[in-house]
Structure 1
Amino acid sequence: MRRAAAVRLSAASATLALAATAGVVLSMPQVAAAAGNATGYASQNGGTTGGAGGQTVRATTGTAIHAALCGRASSSTPITIQVEGTINHGNTSKVSGDSCNTADGVIELKQISNVTIVGVGGGAVFDQVGIHIREAGNIIIQNVTVRNVKKSGSPTSNGGDAIGMESGVRNVWVDHTTLEASGGEDDGFDGLFDMKNDTRYVTLSYSVLRNSGRGGLVGSSESDLSNGFITYHHNLYENIESRTPLLRGGTAHIYNSHFKNISKSGINSRAGAKARVDNNYFEDSKDVLGTFYTDQAGSWQVNGNIFDNVTWSEPGDDNRPAGPNPQSNTSVGIPYSYSLDRADCVPDVVSRTAGAGKGLRVSDGN
């Protein structure tokens, strides 16, 4: 990414003064919002461009991120926030302004649009601080690590979700991130990547999700069916108990991802959800696809997947595994173009490209 010459914030307003003391440096609005273009469903519904064309800010604290949002001319003024360093509870405070709605102890992207948050330099780590997207649109999050966000114990943030979206969210692209916990619900953690209450047109790409009881969900309950059009591609799910993801209603496209050590259940399509599952590699796991823990079934279309040392439980009223020989029981049309890597190449491709700090590398098809 090109960087424009940096200029220090003036003290013309209290918000900008706060930003200056909190570790923000502004650059002229000449850099692109993020490397590459949004893929999958995030490319639909008008596309996802984040802060492209707006000012670029460098932030080293959570308070600085909030100050940058609050210092915009309006809640929709495009902005790219380049983050470097460790964001934690000690440096993440609420900032007030007409163009923001922030809170302590969480990166709050609420009632705003046209924002990119991208890790730069030595890397960006959100340590026990989650990212909350609510009533927002056109958001890009790229090249960051979010770890050990708790819903119980101390400190807590974002209901225990690494990245959570809710309430009328549209067009979010999360790319080249590392989302991780250190255990399951009993250890105080919740989901790594959750969407609920009318969240649509989202892509999670080239990311690592690991060491958690719950990978993520679409829909908070069997009655929360207003979400959908989600793409997951070139991701690694490793050492996850379940929800890779859990789908309640809606449509999801899951391709070229590596699932390893999924211990309870994987892609859980239920309550009328439809999942297209293309050229993934499932390894050393259990019940990686089906309808689980409910009598309200979902469906799936499967193409070109590899199941390597995958075990399957017996079917029952609340347990309908797709295996041991998964077959399609629906058809899912995909409105965007995409290229598939061979399933047998997926573990190698994903290991080279997925996660923060990989130089934003993507598959070249070889």
Structure 2
Amino acid sequence: MTHLRSKRLSRPGRPGTVLAVVLGLVAALSLGALGDAHAAPPAKPGPAADRWTDRPHGFASLAGGTTGGAGGKVVTVTDQAALAKYAAAEEPYVIRVKGTLEMEPFGREIPVASDKTIIGVSDTAEIVHGGFTLDPGTHNVVIRNLTIRDTAVEGNWDCKDTDYDGIRLDTAHHVWIDHIRFSRICDGQLDIRKDSEYVTVSYNQFTDNNKTFGIGWTPNVTTQITVDHNWFRGTKQRNPSADNCAYAHLYNNYLSGQLSDGDPVWTYGNWSRGRTKMVIENSFYDGVQHPYQADATAELVQRGSILRNTTGRHDAWGTAFDPRQFYSYRLDPAAAVPALVKRFSGPQRRIGGPVTLHVPGDHPTVQAAVDAVPEGNDTPLTIAVAPGTYREKVFIPASKPNIVLRGTGRDRSDTVIVFDTPAEYGGSTGSATVRIAANDVTARNLTFGNDFDEAAHELKGEQALAMKTTGDRIVFEDTAFLGNQDTLMTDSPKLTTVSRVYVRDSYIEGDVDFVYGRATTVIERSVIRALSRGSDSNNGYITAASTWKGNPYGFLITRSKVVSDAPAGTYHLGRPWHPGGEPDAVAQVLIRDTLLPAAVKSSPWTDMSGFSWKDARFTEHRNHGPGATVTADRPQMSDRDARSHTVTAYLAGTDGWAPHTRH
């Protein structure tokens, strides 16, 4: 807090200044000390999720690989102008396409620059009346999880006078086309042309088209391409046609429902043309004319495929090449291909949905990962932080909700975010190691610290926050907060705005007002350590609430344990904070069903800055331990009132928020 204290407390330097010692105390005072009844349940593994940083297989994985926009900023687009802007940018981007985008003019193909990922959100993102083009030199591009449809013109089946492609590559390299549904495109649904290299085309649906998927248009034998787990349904030709490919590996594809107008030549499945070397493995052809064929100058090896009701050419000659000399892959049985491809090809809800960004794998710092979260993020996103000490300040702005910040170590002390800024350098807010302004943020299995050494400095203010929140629906599970004065501030954007914070199975330490602010805050099944400041009369204050008078719920500390090595009778449970003298900030604190140490004063509430504690809303209910004596200066909540002051009551608000019921 930024106001001046009426009395500065002096004492020797904080115990455990060395971070390792502090973390040792955190581990020693874990919830195991509360007994089995309060032990945290084992963590449940979350569902697997496709990530924006997924990597391709096959030829696109070679020669440095294809990462798209991984490591760049993540943006969500809902209109053509934004898509065109970010797709053409020089810097890397992950571009999330949400909803249906209709291209204007009709047939517009959006140019895509290098180092881009374009990915549909869930299975409903569509590009209508247009597509994408990758011009010569473009590289490292991922396009996934979209429907691209409807540039066909009624009665123009051959598309002789139009060239509207779904996706066209011209002399591009390292490109991954994945989980796209192409439908009714005039001319090609996917054209890979002019010596494009290192391309993988996987899990797509090619439907309702004449000239479907062509590769080549050059005399050079250059292109390397992997084509797997695609469904060609209701298409006529180029499924695909590969002209002068150095290596074309086709496996586990499904061709069915072929369109035919009685054309004996140009209705076909796969064609190895020119000097192409093609390998086909474990594919499934159902009702296809000329399922696979090869020019006399080309080579085609076919093995393991199933042919049902096929006619015409079934060419196979030459030795082609061995794909396993280039990359590893798993073949699905040909008999399983129809079911697999029907289920898993085309846009999927899980892609572009829940996402995990890894620190340091995808981003070097926690803040860099936060920066990569899209503005207005509406999809749950996890930032998984590997064990280590991250000396940085982190800010999650209000524009980036729905984040889970998770340490991946075995213990919360394995992953530490810490800095050493005091309020003297930027005020109490500026001192916070981590600030969370966004709604719907959860932190798990982490330690947050501010290790400013106040004993080594002579400063007017000693506030040094480990954490400050102003967002709503904030959850801390199995976390630790290390500091001295003002360790954990749970606040809201303004006095009359109610934000809610839930702290569970955690550890909080400090000495002066180290749990404070105006947010409705529940601390459950946690350890609160009141540090000694070396005084034999007043070692500090646990809480300093500034609850708005119109909010019946301020701080609830329940089913927890307060510990302290301070002398008996030297600690206050709290005092009322009126920021800037605000009279409508009327603290509400209930401590119930909690173990209190001998360090707690028999009169544990005290005045602050001219405001009497008796005008605040301070109560206890059924606490226990040597510090839980009942005196005239310790208001006790009745059993009847306690029934309406539960965790549920504090957190429910108007939307029924109930994070405490998830386990």
Per the normalisation by structure 2, the TM-score is: 0.41
Residue identity matched to 1:214: K
Match of 1:330 among 319, 327, 337: 319
> Could you tell me which residue of structure 1 aligns to residue 425 of structure 2?
none
Q: Counterparts of 2:54 and 2:196 in 1: how far apart (Å)?
A: 23
* Moved segments of 4+, more than 4 Å: 150-154
Q: Is the Cα contact below 8 Å between 2:109 and 2:165 reproduced in 1?
A: no
- Point out the structure with the larger strand share: 1
CA drift at 1:215: 1.7
CA contact (8 A) 1:88 1:105 kept: no
Structure having the higher Rg: 2
Q: Which amino acid counterpart does residue 125 of structure 1 have in structure 2?
A: E
Q: Is the 8 A contact 1:106 1:132 kept in 2?
A: yes
CA distance in 2, matches of 1:158, 1:68: 27
Report the Cα distance in structure 1 between the residues aligned to 2:129 and 2:63, rounded to whole angstroms. 33
How far, CA to CA, are the matches of 1:303 and 1:360 in structure 2? 32
CA-based RMSD of the aligned residues comes to: 2.6
Give the 3 Å change call, closer, same or farther, for CA 199–272 of structure 1 in structure 2: same
SS of the residue aligned with 2:348?
coil
The runs of 5 or more residues in structure 1 that have no matched partner are 1-31, 94-103, 183-188, 313-320, 362-366
Report the AA paired with residue 273 of structure 2.
R
Give ranges in structure 2 of 5+ residues lacking alignment: 1-49, 261-266, 353-663
Q: Which residue of 2 aligns with 1:39?
A: 57
Match of 1:165 among 144, 165, 169: 169
Choose between structure 1 and 2 for higher RCO, CA contacts under 8 A separated by at least 6 residues: 1
Q: Which residue is 1:282 aligned to?
A: 285
> In 2 relative to 1, CA 138–33 (structure 1 residues): closer, same or farther, beyond 3 Å?
farther
CA offsets per residue over residues 18-42 of structure 1, 9 Å max, x none?
Answer: xxxxxxxxxxxxxx97253211111
Quote the offset at 1:158 in angstroms: 8.6
Question: How many Å separate the matches in 1 of 2:329 and 2:291?
Answer: 23
Mapping for residues 1-366 of structure 1, pairs under 5 Å? 34=52, 36-69=54-87, 72=89, 75=90, 77-90=91-104, 105-109=108-112, 112-121=113-122, 123-135=124-136, 136-150=138-152, 159-166=163-170, 168-181=171-184, 189-220=186-217, 223-250=218-245, 251-262=247-258, 263=260, 264-291=267-294, 297-312=297-312, 321=313, 323=314, 327-334=316-323, 335-360=326-351
Aligned equivalents of 1:229, 1:280: Cα separation in 2: 19
Secondary structure of residue in 2 paired with 1:345: helix
Give 1:121 deviation, angstroms.
4.3
Q: CA deviation at 1:225?
A: 2.9
The structure-2 alpha-carbon separation of the partners of 1:162 and 1:247, relative to structure 1 and needing over 3 Å to count, comes to same
Structure 2 counterpart of 1:144, which letter? L
Q: Distance in 1 between matches of 2:152 and 2:220?
A: 26
Further displaced range: 32-41 or 261-270: 32-41
User: Could you tell me which amino acid in structure 1 is paired with residue 65 of structure 2?
Assistant: G
Q: Tell me how far apart the structure 2 counterparts of residues 219 and 151 of structure 1 sit (CA, whole Å).
A: 25
Q: CA separation in 2, counterparts of 1:106 and 1:161? A: 8
Sequence identity (%): 29
The total of aligned residue pairs comes to 289
Partner amino acid for 1:160? Answer: Y
- SS in structure 1 at match of 2:257: strand
Asked if structure 2 preserves the Cα contact closer than 8 Å seen for 1:144 and 1:177, the reply is yes
TM-score by length of 1: 0.73
Q: Deviations over 1:291-331 (max 9, x none)?
A: 3xxx663221111000011111xxxxxxxx3x2xx544223
Partner deviation per Cα, 1:214-265 (whole Å, 9 max, x = no partner): 2211112xx4335411111010001111111111111110001101133411
Q: Deviations over 1:114-152 (max 9, x none)?
A: 100000046211111111111200000010010122489
